[in-house]
Homo-oligomer: A and B are copies of this chain.
Amino acid sequence: MDISALLTSAGINIGLCVVLLLLYSLLRKQPSNLSVYFGRRLAQERPKRIDSLCFHRFVPSPSWIVKAWETSEEEILSVGGLDAVVFIRILVFSLRVFSIAAFVCIFLVLPVNYYGQEMHHKEIPYESLEVFTIGNVKAGSKWLWAHCLALYIISCSACLLLYFEYKSIANMRLAHIKASAPNPSYFTVLVRSIPSSREESYSDAVEKFFSNYYLLTYLGHQMVYRSGTVQKLMSDAEVVCRMMRSENLAVKCKQNLFHCGLCGGPSKAFRLLSKGPESVKGKSVYKDLAPAREEVAAAFVFFKTRYAAVVASQILQSSNPMLWVTDLAPEPHDVYWSNLCIPFKQLWIRKIATLIATIVFMFLFLIPVTFVQGLTQLDQLHHSFPFLRGLLKKKYMNQLVTGYLPSVILMLFLYTVPPTMMLFSAVEGCISRSGRKKSACRKVLYFMIWNVFFVNVLSGSVISQLNVISSPKDIPAQLARAVPTQASFFMTYIFTSGWASLSSEVMQPLALLWNLIRRLIFRKKDDLSDKPLSFPYHIEVPRVLVFGLLGFTFSILAPLMLPFLLAYFLLAFLVYRNQILNVYMPKYESGGQLWPTVHNTTIFSLVLMQIIALGVFGVKRSPVASGFTIPLVICTLLFTEYCRQRFHPIFKNNAAQMLIDMDREDEQSGKMEEIHRQLRSAYCQFSPSFHDSCKPDQSDNGESIQDPEDKKPGEDSNKVNEPLALHLHIESKEPVEK
């Protein structure tokens, strides 16, 4: 590939991007697309509708870019939560570090590469790309110190920036925890693997255990019930059936309780679901009303203080570590209910099984990737698609196909990966949606690093993959030979997978299409209660991190890649800010727990860059440069270990000091009783039809949580229950998720 082909490819993609962005700026102004492009605003802010058919609706404008650029971090935090801020910080970090890298590499490394061999240079547009890579520097050259210096500058600035980012995100996390409104999850512990016995139910066992050992701080508990779809339907039917039969009973007790009647339903459900010690008294009257839901060996246990909950969650409870397993509970909206029913004893084997499945999936994916790699060799393409032969004879098409088609195919295959990994993470048994997303994110990340980077680098070169795995000692040298030759592939990868995916992200073609179909075919009107999507961290974070990996590994090998990468990060910065502001709605908050993964991946990229550089210096026979690189690797690893010691515990546990201070503050301000009252109704597994205000999980397969605030007050289907429903509504209205 020569410079002109690269520029053709870049030009096509830039053109495509510009066209799509202009189109976006038009489409977003159309009222019919409001639900596609302003999902979050519709759900949370209800912007005024643009009804007038005025002129500016049909003029593309960059106003969204200006808005996205100007939005402050505080605004992002209030709109998208800490996780969104952390995601934007990844982009800011990448922009910073690759600006430095681009500056150093283009002014220092690129000239050294270009004049690396005494040769007759062609005009720049016809120059091969390889002239600009380190492959052009002759062996034993004394100019390799320039690469070594660039390596030092990039590594040191990356480490420094990483350190400050980690520090500032840790501080943000602490401030976020401190500042947030009382979160029920801080007071709640999820207990699993409750020992079963014939004499007593699980609920009694929990009550006995915690009121014995945590007498002073135990507040109450709530059992988890078996929840399959069939189970749920059956038990719902049973509730309705029993409710009808019990009307006599309800009428009887009308004299005593004012709001009885049909609302005996919810109040019973309420008592049943949030069964605290003092609710036991009233139980006998309604006992036969209770739906025959099957308890599983898991329960949410509520404590009086945050500190007590964190203590109960971290201490080994029983001398059999497989019993009374405690964890801090996830946020109410974050609970992945169907996984709570998995017996605890299965979990370890599920984890191993999904790990193996993931690895198998990663290797099975080699088949399409190898096919894609084959496409870059033209003659093989002729062979596979004979009908293309005439087309491919044109030089222009030739460039397009070899430079473009492989990445497009690879990208299409890659779209199947995140759902598969989400499935694996669900099977694994995560107790929270955010945990499942985090786990899927890591799996997708490993997958991408292996299949996008390593497989492409190694299968494209002479060495077959299995040979490489079997001789770890030679890996640096083999990578050093293989990586620079793949520079052109990865540049087009940045155009296609990077730029193009950003325009597709901002365009939301699928949602747009669905919206169109719904309007034109199903003739449905715009529905404000449409559920906005939540941010797909498990797809976007690995993608951005893989571009970071490419940036680091190619920075000194093929510095020409850096400007394109910088353009990607800049566009990503704008696009994702826009999306966070307008499209995605945060449904739960992991409190920036993504950052340790990001940090570790970046360190991995740095060390990989250094190891490849080590290999390159070895291949180029420059012992001095190799010698200087080894301490750099050691220092980077030491830096990682330091960061792990210094910051990582903050992302795993909350500090006693902070929790106790928060507890005291709440106690002094008298808020504690209000918090305790709300706690009992915070977690509810089933949402009977009359119980509208709290439906955390209507379908098990995804992100279908409806925020209580979306619901318009008039919509409750069962008017009779309004008093209680409204009461609960008010309770759950306080900003749990902040």
- When the two chains form their complex, are residues B471 and A657 in contact, meaning their CB atoms are under 8 A apart? no
- When the two chains form their complex, are residues B653 and A316 in contact, meaning their CB atoms are under 8 A apart? yes
- A655 with B349, Cβ < 8 A, contacts A213-B660, A645-B322 known: no
The docked-state distance in angstroms from the alpha carbon of A322 to that of B66 is 42
Chain B proximity of A645: nearest CB distance (Å): 5
Copies in the complex: 2
A645-657 interface code vs B (CB 8 A; 1 in, 0 out): 1111110111111
CB-CB nearest in chain B for A321: B649
The docked-state distance in angstroms from the alpha carbon of A188 to that of B428 is 39
- When the two chains form their complex, are residues A647 and B317 in contact, meaning their CB atoms are under 8 A apart? no
The docked-state distance in angstroms from the alpha carbon of A649 to that of B638 is 29
- When the two chains form their complex, are residues A319 and B658 in contact, meaning their CB atoms are under 8 A apart? yes
Q: How many residues of A contact B (CB 8 A)?
A: 41
Which chain B residues border A315 with CB–CB below 8 Å? 310-311, 314, 653, 656
- When the two chains form their complex, are residues B348 and A641 in contact, meaning their CB atoms are under 8 A apart? yes
- A348 with B311, Cβ < 8 A, contacts A655-B317, A657-B318 known: no
CB-CB nearest in chain B for A469: B473
Which chain B residues border A316 with CB–CB below 8 Å? 649-650, 652-656
- A646 with B311, Cβ < 8 A, contacts A213-B656, A470-B471, A638-B349 known: no
Chain B proximity of A306: nearest CB distance (Å): 12
- When the two chains form their complex, are residues B647 and A348 in contact, meaning their CB atoms are under 8 A apart? no
The docked-state distance in angstroms from the alpha carbon of A272 to that of B319 is 38
A435-473 interface code vs B (CB 8 A; 1 in, 0 out): 000000000000000000000000000000010011111
- When the two chains form their complex, are residues A319 and B655 in contact, meaning their CB atoms are under 8 A apart? yes
The docked-state distance in angstroms from the alpha carbon of A648 to that of B648 is 23
> Interface on chain A toward B: helix, strand, loop, or mixed SS?
helix
- When the two chains form their complex, are residues A319 and B638 in contact, meaning their CB atoms are under 8 A apart? no
Chain B proximity of A426: nearest CB distance (Å): 21
Q: Does A174 contact B (CB under 8 A)?
A: yes
Chain B proximity of A304: nearest CB distance (Å): 14
- A472 with B473, Cβ < 8 A, contacts A645-B348, A647-B321, A655-B318 known: no
Q: Does A396 contact B (CB under 8 A)?
A: no
Contact of A321 among B310, B471, B650 (CB under 8 A): B650
Q: Does A127 contact B (CB under 8 A)?
A: no
Q: Does A720 contact B (CB under 8 A)?
A: no
Which chain B residues border A348 with CB–CB below 8 Å? 641-642, 645
The docked-state distance in angstroms from the alpha carbon of A654 to that of B646 is 26
Q: Does A18 contact B (CB under 8 A)?
A: no
Chain B proximity of A482: nearest CB distance (Å): 18
Q: Does A710 contact B (CB under 8 A)?
A: no
Q: Which of A311, A322, A656 has the most CB of B within 10 A?
A: A656
- A657 with B319, Cβ < 8 A, contacts A348-B641, A641-B352 known: yes
Which chain B residues border A652 with CB–CB below 8 Å? 316
Q: In A204-255, which residues have CB < 8 Å from any B CB? A: 213
CB-CB nearest in chain B for A308: B311
A176-191 interface code vs B (CB 8 A; 1 in, 0 out): 0000000000000000
A464-489 interface code vs B (CB 8 A; 1 in, 0 out): 00100111111000000000000000
The docked-state distance in angstroms from the alpha carbon of A449 to that of B341 is 44
CB-CB nearest in chain B for A642: B348
Which chain B residues border A649 with CB–CB below 8 Å? 316, 321
The docked-state distance in angstroms from the alpha carbon of A314 to that of B326 is 14
CB-CB nearest in chain B for A213: B660
The docked-state distance in angstroms from the alpha carbon of A718 to that of B556 is 75
The docked-state distance in angstroms from the alpha carbon of A324 to that of B657 is 10
Q: Which of A638, A645, A658 has the most CB of B within 10 A?
A: A645
CB-CB nearest in chain B for A170: B319
The docked-state distance in angstroms from the alpha carbon of A231 to that of B318 is 45
CB-CB nearest in chain B for A471: B470
Which chain B residues border A213 with CB–CB below 8 Å? 656-657, 660
Chain B proximity of A635: nearest CB distance (Å): 12
Q: In A348-374, which residues have CB < 8 Å from any B CB? A: 348-349, 352
Which chain B residues border A473 with CB–CB below 8 Å? 466, 469-470
Which chain B residues border A314 with CB–CB below 8 Å? 314-315
Chain B proximity of A350: nearest CB distance (Å): 12
Chain B proximity of A386: nearest CB distance (Å): 39
CB-CB nearest in chain B for A310: B315
A629-650 interface code vs B (CB 8 A; 1 in, 0 out): 0000000001001100111111
Which chain B residues border A650 with CB–CB below 8 Å? 316, 319, 321
Q: In A513-539, which residues have CB < 8 Å from any B CB? A: none
Q: In A287-327, which residues have CB < 8 Å from any B CB? A: 310-311, 314-322, 324
CB-CB nearest in chain B for A647: B321
- When the two chains form their complex, are residues B322 and A656 in contact, meaning their CB atoms are under 8 A apart? no
Q: In A656-674, which residues have CB < 8 Å from any B CB? A: 656-658, 660
The docked-state distance in angstroms from the alpha carbon of A353 to that of B314 is 31
Which chain B residues border A470 with CB–CB below 8 Å? 471-474
A387-429 interface code vs B (CB 8 A; 1 in, 0 out): 0000000000000000000000000000000000000000000
Chain B proximity of A662: nearest CB distance (Å): 12
Chain B proximity of A415: nearest CB distance (Å): 33
Chain B proximity of A316: nearest CB distance (Å): 5
Which chain B residues border A647 with CB–CB below 8 Å? 321
Which chain B residues border A653 with CB–CB below 8 Å? 315-316
CB-CB nearest in chain B for A660: B213
- A646 with B310, Cβ < 8 A, contacts A315-B656, A348-B641, A656-B315 known: no
- When the two chains form their complex, are residues A646 and B319 in contact, meaning their CB atoms are under 8 A apart? no
CB-CB nearest in chain B for A324: B657
The docked-state distance in angstroms from the alpha carbon of A654 to that of B321 is 10
- When the two chains form their complex, are residues B471 and A645 in contact, meaning their CB atoms are under 8 A apart? no
The docked-state distance in angstroms from the alpha carbon of A647 to that of B321 is 7
The docked-state distance in angstroms from the alpha carbon of A48 to that of B338 is 71
Chain B proximity of A357: nearest CB distance (Å): 14
Which chain B residues border A311 with CB–CB below 8 Å? 311, 315
CB-CB nearest in chain B for A356: B634
Q: Knowing that A317-B657, A318-B655, A318-B657 touch, tell me 5 more A-B residue pairs with CB under 8 angstroms.
A: A316-B649, A316-B654, A317-B656, A321-B648, A352-B641
Pairs across A and B, CB under 8 Å, 13 listed: A213-B657, A311-B311, A314-B315, A319-B657, A319-B658, A320-B646, A321-B649, A348-B641, A348-B645, A470-B471, A470-B473, A470-B474, A472-B472
B-binding residues in A (CB < 8 A): 174, 213, 310-311, 314-322, 324, 348-349, 352, 466, 469-474, 638, 641-642, 645-650, 652-658, 660
Q: Which 6 A-B pairs have the closest CB atoms?
A: A321-B649, A470-B473, A319-B655, A316-B653, A315-B656, A470-B471
